[in-house]
Amino acid sequence: MTVDVATSIARILKQEGVEWVSTFPVCRVNNALGRENVPMVMMRDDRYAIAVADGFSRITAGQRIGVCTVQGGVNAAGIQYSYAGLAQAFEDGSPILCITDGVAIGASENSQFDVTSSLKSVSKWYGYIDKPERTPEFMRRAFTMLRSGSPGPVILAVPDPTGTYDETLDPYKPVKGWKSAPDPADVTTAVEMILNANNPLIYAGEGVIYAGASAELKEFAELVNTPVITTLKAKGAFPENHPLFVGVRGDHTAHYLENSDLILAVGSSLSPGRFSHGIPGAASKTIILCNVNELHINKIYPSAHAIIGDARFTLQALIGEATAKTSGAGRPAGNVAAEVKSVRDSGMAQYREAMASDDKPMNPYRVYGDMMKALDPLNSFVTHESGNTRDQLSTVYETLIPRGFLGWGNVSTLGFSLAATIAAKLANPEKLCVAVTGEAGLGYMLGNLEVPVRLKLGITIVHISNGGFSGYGPGFWGDGHDPFTHVVQGYDDVDMSKVIGQLGLYTERVSEPSEIIPALERAFKANESGQPSYIEFICSQFPVYGQWVAG
C-alpha cells in the first residue's frame, strides 16, 4: 500500500496511543492529522503549542507523550518562535515529540537561520526524514528515545510530507521504553555508606517521578529512617505530610542540607543555581548520586559514589540490600522524626502565620492557605508561575501525590503555568486544575486564554494581583532597583476580572480574605460545566519565601 509521509506519521501517532496533537498553524503534517481524525489542540501561538505538549509529558511522567506540530521550513516563523518552548523542554528534561516542516531538499543555504544547528541544541535528538521510506524508522527511533533513558525532547523535521512509499515494506509496530537496573556491587557499597553515616539525607529529584518510584522512595526512607527533601521539579514525589519530609526550601531544608554528612541524590542531577540548592560544605560530605544518566556523575560536586539506573529499580535494590544488611530492622529510629518535626515547625512558623493573615491588601500566603482548604490534595492539580508565586508556593503548598503540584524550572519561562494547567486538564479531566500567576505570567498567557474557553476546559487561574513584578522590587537585588523595572499597571488602574470576563471566563475580583474560599468554590463550580475561571486576588507584595541554599 502506498502511503504519503504525513499520513504515515498520523497513523503511527495513533498506533503509539497519542490522543491529540497541540499545534499552531501551519505545519504541513496537520492536514493528514485532520484526515486521520487525530484531534488537534489549537493554541494561539507556537510556543504554547510546545508548552502544552511539554506540560502533558511532565504531568503524565512520560507515560503519555505530548506531541506538537509547528511551522518550519524556509519560512521558519513557527519553529523560531517555538525555540523558547523547546529550550525550556530541553533544559527541564521533558520528553515531547515536536514535528515541524523540514527545509526541503534543494532549498538549503537559503535562509539566515540555521534550523538544524539551532534545533540540535535544544533536543535529545533532531531527526530529518530525508527519504519517505525512512518514516517508520525515524518514528520508531523517536518513540524509543522518548520512552528510554534520560527524558528530553525529540524533534522530527519533515521536508516532504507528500512523498510516498510502500508501507508494507516496513509495517510500524509500537515501541516500548527500555530501562536499566543498577550494578548490585554499587548498591552494596551505597548501603554500607548510608548505614555508616551519622546524618544521612535523601535528596529526591524528578527522576523519581518519571520512574514512578514514589512508593519505593517512601519504603526506603522509612527503612533507613532518613529525612527527605525534594527538588522543585520533584515536589510531590514524597508525601509532604510524612514525618520524614523536611521540605523543598526554607530554613528547615537548609538546616538538613548543612548538617547532613551524607546526601543520597536519587533522580536529581544536583545542578545548583537553577532554582535548586547548592550543597553547602560539599567537600566534607559524602555524595552518592543515583541517576539514569551517567553525565551527571561528578558534575559540579564530586560524587563519592554513584548508582546508574532507573530510580525505581535503584530504590528496589537499595531496599533489598538494606533489608538484608540489617536483618529487616533498618536504621535505628532514634529521634529522627521528632527532630524533623521540630526543625520543620520552626522553619514553617512564619509562613503558617502569613497563611492565617487577615491583612488587606491580602497576604498571598493567605490565598495559598485557603487554596489548600478548598482543594482536595488527592484530586487536584496546582502549578505556579515564574516569580514570587513559584517561590512562595514551593515553600508552603502541601503536596501529597506526584503531580498534585507541578514545580518547574531549571529555567522557568514565564507563561508556562497556563500551558501546564491546560495539559493537566486534558490528562485528568476529573481533577480541579489551578494555575497561580502574577502580572508577568498573565501577560504572556492573555492571548491563549481563548483556548480553554473554546475547548471548554474548566481550569482556574488564580492571579496574585500585586501591581508589580514583586520579586524585582525594593530589596531584591539591593536598594535602588525599584522602580526601574518593576512597576506595571496594577489593580487600581485596570480591573483584569472585567477584561478577562469579556473573553468568556468566569471571573471575580476578591479583596476580602473571608471571600477567598467562597470565590474559589464559585470558580470551581463554573469549571464543572467546562467554563474556565479567573480570580483576581488583590494582594500585597510580600517577597518572603524559603531561599535556595548556596553551594
Ligand X SMILES: Cc1ncc(C[n+]2csc(CCOP(=O)(O)OP(=O)(O)O)c2C)c(N)n1
Write out the residues near ligand X by the rule CB under 6 A. Answer: 385-389, 412-414, 438-441, 464, 466, 468-471
When CB distances are held under 5 to 8 angstroms depending on the partner's kind, the choice from Mg ion, ligand X, none that residue 72 binds is none
Task: Give the residue with the Cβ less far from ligand X, 84 or 292.
Answer: 84
Beta-carbon contacts of 329 under 8 Å, excluding residues fewer than 6 positions away, are: none
Beta-carbon contacts of 104 under 8 Å, excluding residues fewer than 6 positions away, are: 73, 74, 159, 160
Q: How far is the CB of 488 from Mg ion (least distance, A)?
A: 8
Task: Give the residue with the Cβ less far from ligand X, 314 or 389.
Answer: 389
**Can you tell me the distance from the alpha carbon of 57 to that of 418, in angstroms, rounded to the nearest whole number?**
15
Q: Where are the beta strands (DSSP E) in 206-313?
A: 228-230, 245-247, 262-266, 286-291, 305-308
Sole window of 199-207, 244-252, 369-377, 465-473 interacting with Mg ion (rule: CB under 5 A): 465-473
The binding track of 431-460 with respect to Mg ion, each residue x by CB under 5 A or -, is -------xx---------------------
Q: How far is the CB of 387 from ligand X (least distance, A)?
A: 3
Q: Where are the beta strands (DSSP E) in 28-187?
A: 40-42, 67-70, 97-101, 125-128, 154-158, 164-166
When CB distances are held under 5 to 8 angstroms depending on the partner's kind, the choice from ligand X, Mg ion, none that residue 386 binds is ligand X
DSSP 223-252: HTT--EEE-STTTTSS-TTSTTEEESSSHH
Exposed / middle / buried, residue 80 (Cβ in 10 Å: 0-12, 13-18, 19+): middle
Task: Give the residue with the Cβ less far from ligand X, 363 or 389.
Answer: 389
Q: How many CA atoms lie within 13 A of 1 on its CB side?
A: 9
Q: Which three cell numbers stand for residue 228?
A: 527527605
Q: How far is the CB of 47 from ligand X (least distance, A)?
A: 10
When CB distances are held under 5 to 8 angstroms depending on the partner's kind, the choice from ligand X, Mg ion, none that residue 414 binds is ligand X
Regarding 466 and contact with Mg ion (CB under 5 A), the answer is yes
Task: Give the residue with the Cβ less far from ligand X, 124 or 463.
Answer: 463
Q: Which residue is nearest to ligand X (CB)?
A: 438
Instruction: Specify the 3-state DSSP secondary structure of 19.
Output: coil
Task: Give the residue with the Cβ less far from ligand X, 347 or 468.
Answer: 468
Q: How far is the CB of 282 from Mg ion (least distance, A)?
A: 35
Sole window of 112-120, 245-253, 328-336, 464-472 interacting with Mg ion (rule: CB under 5 A): 464-472
Q: How far is the CB of 496 from Mg ion (least distance, A)?
A: 12
Q: How far is the CB of 499 from ligand X (least distance, A)?
A: 16
Task: Give the residue with the Cβ less far from ligand X, 287 or 462.
Answer: 462
Q: How far is the CB of 465 from Mg ion (least distance, A)?
A: 7
Terminal-residue alpha carbon distance, the chain: 60
Task: Give the residue with the Cβ less far from ligand X, 274 or 299.
Answer: 274
Q: How far is the CB of 148 from Mg ion (least distance, A)?
A: 41
When CB distances are held under 5 to 8 angstroms depending on the partner's kind, the choice from ligand X, Mg ion, none that residue 371 binds is none
When CB distances are held under 5 to 8 angstroms depending on the partner's kind, the choice from Mg ion, ligand X, none that residue 23 binds is none
**Can you tell me the distance from the alpha carbon of 346 to that of 185, in angstroms, rounded to the nearest whole number?**
40
**Can you tell me the distance from the alpha carbon of 9 to that of 17, in angstroms, rounded to the nearest whole number?**
13
When CB distances are held under 5 to 8 angstroms depending on the partner's kind, the choice from Mg ion, ligand X, none that residue 151 binds is none
Q: How many residues in the shown chain lie near Mg ion by CB under 5 A?
A: 4
185 phi and psi angles, rounded to 5 deg: -65, -35
Q: Which of residues 305-344 bind Mg ion (CB under 5 A)?
A: none
19 with 109: CB under 8 angstroms?
Answer: no
Regarding 473 and contact with Mg ion (CB under 5 A), the answer is no
Q: How far is the CB of 386 from ligand X (least distance, A)?
A: 3
Task: Give the residue with the Cβ less far from ligand X, 30 or 412.
Answer: 412
Q: How far is CA 90 from CA 46, 95, 151, 400, in A?
A: 16, 8, 9, 27
207 phi and psi angles, rounded to 5 deg: -55, -30
When CB distances are held under 5 to 8 angstroms depending on the partner's kind, the choice from Mg ion, ligand X, none that residue 412 binds is ligand X
Beta-carbon contacts of 75 under 8 Å, excluding residues fewer than 6 positions away, are: none
When CB distances are held under 5 to 8 angstroms depending on the partner's kind, the choice from Mg ion, ligand X, none that residue 441 binds is ligand X
When CB distances are held under 5 to 8 angstroms depending on the partner's kind, the choice from ligand X, Mg ion, none that residue 8 binds is none
Instruction: Specify the 3-state DSSP secondary structure of 90.
Output: helix
What are the strands of the beta sheet with 533-538, ordered from one edge?
Answer: 405-406, 380-383, 432-437, 460-465, 533-538, 506-510
| Pair type for strands 533-538 and 432-437 | unpaired
Nearest 5°: the CA angle 314, 319, 325 is 125
When CB distances are held under 5 to 8 angstroms depending on the partner's kind, the choice from ligand X, Mg ion, none that residue 208 binds is none
When CB distances are held under 5 to 8 angstroms depending on the partner's kind, the choice from Mg ion, ligand X, none that residue 413 binds is ligand X
Q: How far is the CB of 412 from Mg ion (least distance, A)?
A: 15
Task: Give the residue with the Cβ less far from Mg ion, 159 or 473.
Answer: 473
Task: Give the residue with the Cβ less far from ligand X, 264 or 442.
Answer: 442
The 10 Å CB-count burial string (b at 16+, else e) for 6-25 is: bbbbbbbbeebebbbbbbbe
**Can you tell me the distance from the alpha carbon of 473 to that of 440, in angstroms, rounded to the nearest whole number?**
14
Omega within 30 of 0 (cis) for the link into 52:
no
Task: Give the residue with the Cβ less far from ligand X, 82 or 386.
Answer: 386
Task: Give the residue with the Cβ less far from Mg ion, 186 or 439.
Answer: 439
110 with 125: CB under 8 angstroms?
Answer: no
Q: How far is the CB of 389 from ligand X (least distance, A)?
A: 5
Q: How far is the CB of 414 from ligand X (least distance, A)?
A: 4
| Positions in the binding site for Mg ion (CB under 5 A) | 438-439, 466, 470
